[in-house]
Structure 1
Amino acid sequence: MNKKIKLRLEKYFSKDHNKEVEKNACKLDRDQPGNLLTTLTTLRSDLSRKYIISILINEEKYLDFYDDIRLANISAIDHYFTYGYKESRELFEPDFKNIPNTEKLKNGESVFYLEAPRSNAIFKYRITFKEKNNKKSILLDQENSIIEILLAIFKAKEITFIRPKHQDKKINYLINICKKLNVKVIIDYDDLLLPEFTHLIGAVRSGISNFDDTHNELIKDSSILLSADGITCSTQVIADSLSNIVDDISICKNKLPKEYFISRERVLAKKIEDKIKVLYLSGSNTHFKDYSLISGPLIKLSQQHPNLFSLTLLGAVSDQKHIFSHFGLECNVIRLKEFEEMLNIIREHDIVLVPLENNKFNDAKSNIKFIESASQGVAVIASSVKEYSECINTYENGWLCSTEEEWLNTLLHLFCNPNEILTTSLAAYDSALKGYSI
Structure 2
Amino acid sequence: MKVLYLSKTSEIGPSSRYRIYQYIPYLNKHGIHCEVRPLFTETYFRIIEIDNPIIRTILKTFYSAYRFFIRLSHIFDVKKFNLVIIEHQIFPYLPAFPEYLVKRLNKNMVIEFDDAIYLTFLHRKKMEKNLRNVTGAIVGNKYLAEFARKFNNEVKVIPTVIDTDRYKGKESYKAERITISWVGLSYNLSYLFSLKEVFNILSEKFNISLKIISSKNLIIEGVDIIFKKWSYEDEVKDLRSADIGIMPLPNNEWTKGKCGAKLLQYMACGLPTVSSPVGVNSEIIKDGENGFLAENNEEWIKKLTLLIEDKNLREKMGEKARKTVEEKYSLEKWADELVNTYCHFNSLNKISTFWPQG
Q: TM-score, normalised by structure 2?
A: 0.75
Shift of 1:284: 2.8
Shift of 1:168: 5.2
Match of 1:215 in 2: 121
Find the partner of 1:398 among 285, 291, 310: 291
In 2, are the aligned partners of 1:284 and 1:317 still within 8 Å (CA)? yes
Q: 1:148-201 CA deviation, whole Å, 9 max, x = no partner?
A: 8357522222211102135458x844x344323443111111101123xxxxxx
Higher relative contact order (Cα pairs below 8 Å, separated by 6+ residues): 2
Q: Greater CA radius of gyration, 1 or 2? A: 1
Q: How does 1:51-200 map to 2 (within 5 A)?
A: 109-135=2-28, 136-142=33-39, 149=74, 152-164=77-89, 165-167=91-93, 172-173=97-98, 175-195=99-119
Match of 1:300 in 2: 201
Indicate whether 1:333 and 2:227 are aligned: yes
| Structure 2 residue ranges without an equivalent (≥5) | 42-66, 332-358
Shift of 1:224: 3.8
**1:147–1:243 distance in 2 versus 1, CA, 3 Å:** closer
Which secondary structure does the structure 1 equivalent of 2:121 belong to? helix
**1:182–1:412 distance in 2 versus 1, CA, 3 Å:** closer
**1:338–1:418 distance in 2 versus 1, CA, 3 Å:** same
Indicate whether 1:283 and 2:185 are aligned: yes
Q: 1:211-267 CA deviation, whole Å, 9 max, x = no partner?
A: xxx5335555654444323111101000102221112111111112232131x6xx3
Q: 1:95-150 CA deviation, whole Å, 9 max, x = no partner?
A: xxxxxxxxxxxxx5222111422222122111112443111222222479669835
What amino acid does structure 2 have at the position aligned with 1:367? G
In 1, are the aligned partners of 2:136 and 2:152 still within 8 Å (CA)? yes
In 2, are the aligned partners of 1:186 and 1:228 still within 8 Å (CA)? yes
**1:219–1:278 distance in 2 versus 1, CA, 3 Å:** same
Q: 1:360-408 CA deviation, whole Å, 9 max, x = no partner?
A: 3222211211221122221211111131111112232111111111101
What amino acid does structure 2 have at the position aligned with 1:320? I
In 1, are the aligned partners of 2:257 and 2:279 still within 8 Å (CA)? yes
| d(CA) in 1 for partners of 2:127, 2:148 | 14
Indicate whether 1:315 and 2:239 are aligned: no
What amino acid does structure 1 have at the position aligned with 2:152? V
Indicate whether 1:349 and 2:242 are aligned: yes
Find the partner of 1:437 among 327, 330, 337: 330
Find the partner of 1:254 among 144, 160, 177: 160
Output the aligned Cα RMSD: 2.6
**1:139–1:132 distance in 2 versus 1, CA, 3 Å:** same
What amino acid does structure 2 have at the position aligned with 1:139? V
Match of 1:271 in 2: 173
| d(CA) in 2 for partners of 1:149, 1:178 | 10
| d(CA) in 2 for partners of 1:166, 1:238 | 19
Indicate whether 1:324 and 2:222 are aligned: yes
| d(CA) in 2 for partners of 1:413, 1:258 | 27
In 1, are the aligned partners of 2:255 and 2:278 still within 8 Å (CA)? yes
Identity of aligned residues (%): 17
| d(CA) in 1 for partners of 2:11, 2:97 | 22
| d(CA) in 2 for partners of 1:276, 1:382 | 17
Q: TM-score, normalised by structure 1?
A: 0.62
Indicate whether 1:241 and 2:147 are aligned: yes
Shift of 1:344: 1.8
| d(CA) in 1 for partners of 2:27, 2:135 | 22
| d(CA) in 1 for partners of 2:282, 2:71 | 43
Moved >6 Å (runs of 4+): none
| d(CA) in 1 for partners of 2:186, 2:122 | 22
What amino acid does structure 1 have at the position aligned with 2:84? I
In 2, are the aligned partners of 1:343 and 1:373 still within 8 Å (CA)? no
What amino acid does structure 2 have at the position aligned with 1:261? Y
What amino acid does structure 2 have at the position aligned with 1:324? G
| d(CA) in 1 for partners of 2:181, 2:86 | 34
In 1, are the aligned partners of 2:272 and 2:291 still within 8 Å (CA)? yes
Match of 2:343 in 1: none
| d(CA) in 1 for partners of 2:8, 2:258 | 21
Q: How does 1:349-388 map to 2 (within 5 A)?
A: 349-388=242-281
In 2, are the aligned partners of 1:235 and 1:251 still within 8 Å (CA)? yes
| d(CA) in 2 for partners of 1:425, 1:334 | 22
What amino acid does structure 2 have at the position aligned with 1:236? K
| d(CA) in 1 for partners of 2:130, 2:244 | 41
| d(CA) in 1 for partners of 2:148, 2:75 | 29
**1:355–1:159 distance in 2 versus 1, CA, 3 Å:** same
